[in-house]
Structure 1
Amino acid sequence: MAIENTLSHVMGLVVSNKREQLSPELDFLDVYADQLNFRNVFSARIQNQSGTFVNQLEVIASIYNEDQTESLYSTEASGMQMVPHSNFAFPIPLNGESFVPGNYVLHLQANSGELKWEWTRSFEVDDHISKTFNRQDITIPS
Structure 2
Amino acid sequence: MYKKICLALAAMLGLVGATVTATHPVHAEALHYAIAAQLPSNQINTSLSYFNLKVSPGQQQTLNVVLSNSDTKAHKYSVAAVRATTNTNGGIDYTKRGVKPASSLKADFEQMTPKKFTVSVPANTKQTVPVQLKVPTTAFAGVVLGGIRVQELDTNTSQAKSKGVKLNNKFAYVLGVTLQEVDDYSNIKPEMILHRAGAKQINYRNYITATLENTQPTVMHKLEISAKVRKAGSQDTYLSTTKSQMTMAPNSNFDFPISTKNHPLEAGDYTLDLTASANDGDVHWHFTKNFTITRTQTNKLNKSAVDLQKPTTSDNTLLYIFLAIGIVVLIIVIILFVVVLKPKKHKHPKK
* TM-score, normalising length: structure 2: 0.38
| 2:244 match | 78
| 1:126 match | 294
Question: 2: distance between equivalents of 1:46 and 1:63?
Answer: 16
| 2:266 match | 100
| 2:305 match | 137
Higher relative contact order (CA 8 A, sep 6+): 1
2:215 is aligned with 1:49 = yes
- Determine which structure has the larger strand proportion and give its number: 1
Among candidates 171, 177, 181, match of residue 12 of structure 1: 177
Report how far residue 6 of structure 1 moved: 3.0
Question: 2: distance between equivalents of 1:94 and 1:43?
Answer: 10
String of CA shifts for 1:49-85, please: whole Å, max 9, x gaps.
1111111000111110011111111111111111111
Q: 1:109 to 1:132 in 2, by over 3 A?
A: same
Report how far residue 14 of structure 1 moved: 4.5
Question: 2: distance between equivalents of 1:11 and 1:4?
Answer: 25
Q: Which has the larger radius of gyration?
A: 2
Report how far residue 16 of structure 1 moved: 3.8
Question: 2: distance between equivalents of 1:37 and 1:44?
Answer: 17
Question: 2: distance between equivalents of 1:48 and 1:93?
Answer: 22
Q: Which amino acid aligns with 1:114?
A: D
After superposition, the CA RMSD in angstroms is 2.1
Question: 1: distance between equivalents of 2:208 and 2:299?
Answer: 15
Question: 2: distance between equivalents of 1:128 and 1:31?
Answer: 17
Tell me how many residue pairs correspond in the alignment.
Answer: 142
CA contact (8 A) 2:264 2:309 kept: no
Q: Which amino acid aligns with 2:222?
A: Q
- Unpaired runs of 5+ residues, structure 2, are 1-71, 74-122, 129-173, 311-351
Q: Which amino acid aligns with 2:177?
A: G
CA contact (8 A) 2:231 2:269 kept: yes
Q: Percent identity?
A: 25
2:66 is aligned with 1:66 = no
Question: 2: distance between equivalents of 1:35 and 1:11?
Answer: 30
CA contact (8 A) 2:262 2:309 kept: no
String of CA shifts for 1:33-58, please: whole Å, max 9, x gaps.
11111111011000011111111000
2:276 is aligned with 1:110 = yes
Q: Which amino acid aligns with 1:65?
A: K
